[in-house]
Amino acid sequence: MSDHTGTQTSYWIETAPGVPRPALSEDITVDVAVVGGGMAGLSTAWEVARGGRSVAVLEADRLAEGVTGHTTAKLTALHSLVYQRLRRTRGEDGARLYGRSQLEAIGRAAELVDELGIDCEWETAPAFTYATDDRASELRAEAEAAREAGLPAEFVTDTDLPFPVAGAVGVADQVQFHPRKYLLALAEALERGGGQLYEHTRVVGLHEGEPCRLTTEAGHTVTARDVVVATHYPIFDRALLFARLSPRREVVLTAPIDAGRAPQGMYITPEENTRSVRTAPYRDGTRLLIVTGEHFTPGTSDTGEHLTRLADWATAHFGPLEFRHRWATQDNDSSDTVPLVGPLHAASRHTYVATGFGGWGLSGGVMAGLLLSALIDGREPPWTGLYDPRRVGTVLREAPAFLKYQAKVAQHFVGDRLAPFLEGGSVDDVAPGDGAVMRVGGHVCAVSRDDSGQLHAVSARCTHLGCLVAFNRAERAWECPCHGSRFDVDGRVLQGPATRPLEQRDV
Ligand code: FES
């Protein structure tokens, strides 16, 4: 990543570092154990604790620092062009339930901000899905579908973007906020109420029963009546959900912009490999412009190229900019656009999952908290079936692009097992800052060299299901193209579904 694109830190993490929580250091018993401390996990923990249950949150890294700490932080029910698609795949009732559940989630977050007095830069703003090309009729149809789904949506041709659009779907009274200030305040309130929060506590085993038992990497056991897996990509996949999820990475850039010319709304377009725009309060009469886009499958592309393209787009559309932050984020798309929230598999009695938010994990995470806490309580909100991970039928109507992605995964499963025997390589050829997969001493190794010339070598076989990882130079990380696991140069897990590190190799 080039220096002209600012520091390699998420603005949300830089401005809300949070206090450390202990790692779990003993066996514990609670009513509900939540694996994963992001928006979905903490929202679920909050709701079940509200219902009078004891709860523990087990986070492999830091609370609210994973995907939630790298989002663009829009809390909206307008999810790009989802409503026309929902009408086709889930019918008008499905689209309405989706709209209602997402609006309810935004309302719930607003209630908590009020009730707990959370200072999280909460701003009400209109959300828009726009196009600059000839898609005006598609947007008009989306506005109608969103309106029928219960959103106050309208088709407009005027926006406060500094460039003309062919049309846009606009929805008033949506929200932009600081996701970590919100979630860390929620975590503190949860703790004050007796909730247990653990960081650097990686869960590696799940025994389903009555009660369920989780095992951590450090060897401790958490006994719980109910277990919620909210790890972004599920670390336990007993219903082959991975066949219905595709990971994608996207880059984010920020730059101060004069408050007088900062757009008030939040924007997204599917054009140019997606562009998303919002602003946040900043200093000295400026607001912070936050632009996102350039999605790609992890392990298939270098983040640096995407940042350069996004930076060029931002300066072409907003004038000269001095970039302050750059980061990348990762999302999982479900095969039918609808998140998978509910029982973990067909025979689940006390295990639940929340995943597949497709880039809309803030409203989706709050929705998941409400839905899962209701299911744990024995209640079924009207949208239970819509989000049920056990749904069948909609898979048959998957988008062609999704099927293409699954074909690529299948190619990796087969090809990655053959290719290493055909390839050679020399560690001497690996330049500082670079990395390569090669066969060394009979092992398939992922070899990288840091800026000081030091070699780092680990197994190139992803510990999830064995695909070969690829090097992302800009982020100095090994990424798996199959389901998006990511590892640092010494093999440490940065992102699941893998839970075990890549094995060290001596080269
Ligand atoms: Fe599944 Fe690597 S993430 S094989």
Distance 479 CA to ligand 1 centre (A): 9
Cis-peptide into 497, omega within 30 deg: yes
* Predicted local distance difference test score (pLDDT) of residue 400: 57
Could you give the 3-state DSSP secondary structure of residue 394? helix
Least confident of 173-182, 295-304, 334-343: 295-304
**464, 468, 486: residue to mutate for ligand 1 pocket, most atoms within 8 A of CB:** 464
CATH code assigned to 419-495? 2.102.10.10
- Pocket flag, ligand 1, residue 243 (CB < 6 Å): no
Distance 231 CA to ligand 1 centre (A): 15
DSSP 8-class letter at 193: T
Query: Rounded distance, CA 314 to CA 319, Å?
Result: 8
- Pocket flag, ligand 1, residue 468 (CB < 6 Å): no
Distance 481 CA to ligand 1 centre (A): 7
> How many Cβ atoms from other residues are within 10 Å of residue 317's Cβ?
15
- Pocket flag, ligand 1, residue 480 (CB < 6 Å): yes
Amino acid (one-letter) located at 328: A
Q: What is the residue whose two structure tokens read 């024995």?
A: 378
**Cβ atoms 354, 413 nearer than 8 A:** no
* Predicted local distance difference test score (pLDDT) of residue 2: 44
Query: Rounded distance, CA 295 to CA 476, Å?
Result: 18
Contacts of 134 (CB under 8 A, 6+ apart): 166
Which residue, among 238, 247, 191, 206, has the nearest Cα to 494 in the 3D structure?
A: 247
- Pocket flag, ligand 1, residue 485 (CB < 6 Å): yes
Query: Rounded distance, CA 45 to CA 373, Å?
Result: 8
Higher pLDDT, 298 or 118: 118
424 Ramachandran zone, left/alpha/beta (phi>0; psi -120 to 50)? beta
DSSP 8-class letter at 307: H
- Pocket flag, ligand 1, residue 409 (CB < 6 Å): no
Interval 429-474: pLDDT, tens: 888 999 999 888 788 999 999 999 999 999 999 999 899 999 998 8
- Quote the distance between the C-alpha of residue 317 and its chain's center: 27
Residues of the chain with CATH 3.50.50.60: 13-71+180-243+337-396
Query: Rounded distance, CA 457 to CA 436, Å?
Result: 10
Query: Rounded distance, CA 477 to CA 479, Å?
Result: 6
Residues of the chain with CATH 2.102.10.10: 419-495
Query: Rounded distance, CA 370 to CA 375, Å?
Result: 9
Interval 341-377: pLDDT, tens: 999 999 999 999 999 999 999 999 999 999 999 999 9
Could you give the 3-state DSSP secondary structure of residue 21? coil
Distance 329 CA to ligand 1 centre (A): 18
Which residue, among 230, 482, 268, has the nearest Cα to 356 in the 3D structure?
A: 230
Interval 97-123: pLDDT, tens: 999 999 999 999 999 999 999 999 999
pLDDT bin (cut points 50, 70, 90) of residue 68 is: confident
Distance 309 CA to ligand 1 centre (A): 28
- DSSP H or E segment with residue 57: strand 55-58
User: Is residue 507's pLDDT more than 60?
Assistant: yes
Amino acid (one-letter) located at 251: V
Q: What value does the CA radius of gyration of the chain take, rounded to a whole number of Å?
A: 22
343 phi, psi to nearest 5 deg: -55, 145
- Per DSSP, the residues of 74-107 read EE-S--TTHHHHHHHHHHHHHHHHHHHHHHHHHH
Q: Which atom of ligand 1 is nearest to the CA of 484?
A: 3
* Predicted local distance difference test score (pLDDT) of residue 241: 77
With both helix axes pointing from N to C terminus, report the angle between 361-376 and 82-116 in degrees, rounded to the nearest 10: 80
Query: Rounded distance, CA 68 to CA 99, Å?
Result: 22
Q: Which atom of ligand 1 is nearest to the CA of 466?
A: 4
Exposure pattern of 73-88 as b/e (b: 16+ CB <10 Å)?
bbbbbbbbbbbbbbbe
**485, 486, 487, 500: residue to mutate for ligand 1 pocket, most atoms within 8 A of CB:** 485
178 phi, psi to nearest 5 deg: -100, 105
User: Is residue 489's pLDDT more than 90?
Assistant: yes
First to last CA, the chain: 27
Supply angle C-alpha 365, 59, 288, rounded to 5.
55
pLDDT bin (cut points 50, 70, 90) of residue 6 is: low
Could you give the 3-state DSSP secondary structure of residue 8? coil
Q: What integer is the mean pLDDT of 3-30?
A: 89
Interval 312-350: pLDDT, tens: 999 999 999 999 999 999 999 898 889 999 999 999 999
Q: What integer is the mean pLDDT of 120-147?
A: 94
HEC secondary structure over 243-304: HHEEEEEEEEEEEEEEHHHCCCCEEEECHHHCEEEEEEECCCCEEEEEEEEEEECCCCCCHH
Give the chain's largest Cα–Cα span.
63
**405, 437, 463, 465: residue to mutate for ligand 1 pocket, most atoms within 8 A of CB:** 465
Cis-peptide into 381, omega within 30 deg: no
Distance 464 CA to ligand 1 centre (A): 5
Domain 13-71+180-243+337-396 is classified in which CATH homologous superfamily?
FAD/NAD(P)-binding domain (3.50.50.60)
**444, 467, 486, 502: residue to mutate for ligand 1 pocket, most atoms within 8 A of CB:** 467
Which residue, among 47, 49, 52, has the nearest Cα to 112 in the 3D structure?
A: 47
Query: Rounded distance, CA 298 to CA 486, Å?
Result: 8
**What rounded mean pLDDT belongs to the chain?**
91
DSSP 8-class letter at 51: T
Higher pLDDT, 300 or 393: 300
Which residue, among 109, 96, 111, has the nearest Cα to 68 in the 3D structure?
A: 109
User: Is residue 202's pLDDT more than 70?
Assistant: yes
